[in-house]
Amino acid sequence: DTHQWVAPTSTDVRSPCPGLNTLANHGYLPRDGRNISVPMILDAALEAFNVDPDGLVVAAKFGLLSGNAPTTLDLDALALHSLIEHDASLSRGDFALGDNLRFNETFFMTLANANPGADNYNTTSAGQVMHDRLAISLATNPSITNTPKEFALRTIESSLYLSVMGNPLTGIAPKEFVQIFFREERMPIEEGWTRPTTSITRATLNALGAVIAANANWTATQECEPLVLGP
């Protein structure tokens, strides 16, 4: 089957994004991680995860700025700090602390251990995890960047893992699925996961994001320019 999970080889490149890496590991994106266009990303995310293009097109276009090719990107280039990549990630270290690209279980522990006693993560736990990951970065990284831009990205990323691994309307996602998605960058099909039947759109992501953001109890430590990302 062409969408079997295969671990990346030593010459394949991967990104700081578990979503794009999972798509490449299953062959929805080129397995080498290179020369990927915006339509390739949008088609892959729709086919594999039922994410509507309207939820990803801005991020995908933004990603093109990570390299010099006019219409394609390479996954590893997405580690470019402060393009999309930001501090206080769920599963990677901060740029100034060393490796902002590869999965790291130490940083992932906050999310892994969230919502104790339950089998699921939800919008409450996701907000708490965002708060706790930021507190760790503020305490350990003197070079942290924490403006409304980073908070907006972090919020939509939390909406995304709850949506693609769980229910895009309730934001409830089985812990086992979320952990496999981050740790192995694999679709947990053998474990019982199926493609969401609800279309994941900009609207559903923002609806979950509003609840997650409220639970993150966030304050800016720096400001940024207004972000104009479309009409």
* Residues at the site binding ligand HEM, with contacts judged by CB under 6 A: 15-20, 41, 45, 49, 51, 56, 59-60, 63, 78, 84-86, 89-92, 157, 160-161, 164
Report how far residue 152's alpha carbon sits from residue 29's, in angstroms, rounded to the nearest whole number: 26
Amino acid at 212: I
Per partner kind, with CB cut-offs from 5 to 8 A, the member of Mg ion, ligand HEM, none near residue 25 is: none
Least separation in angstroms between CB 92 and Mg ion: 5
Consecutive H or E run containing 51: none
Beta strands in the chain (DSSP E): 36-37, 72-73, 120-121, 173-174
Q: What share of the chain is helix, strand, coil (3-state, %, to 5)?
A: 50, 5, 45
Give yes or no for residue 146 binding Mg ion (CB under 5 A): no
Segment near Mg ion (CB under 5 A); pick from 48-56, 97-105, 199-207, 209-217 = 97-105
Binding residues for Mg ion, total number by CB under 5 A: 4
Q: How far is the CB of 148 from Mg ion (least distance, A)?
A: 16
**x/- map, 57-96, Mg ion, by CB under 5 A:** ----------------------------x---x--x----
Q: Name which of 117 and 129 has its Cβ closer to ligand HEM.
A: 129
Question: At closest approach, how far in Å is the CB of 180 from ligand HEM?
Answer: 13
34-to-28, 71, 74 alpha-carbon distances in Å: 13, 12, 4
Closest distance to Mg ion from the beta carbon of 57 (Å) = 21
Q: Which two tokens stand for residue 202?
A: 């900009």
* Token pair listed for 217: 């109890």
Rounded to whole angstroms, the Cα distance separating 86 from 66 reads 14
Residue closest to Mg ion when measured from CB atoms:
89
| Longest Cα–Cα distance in the chain | 49
Residues that bind Mg ion (CB under 5 A): 85, 89, 92, 100
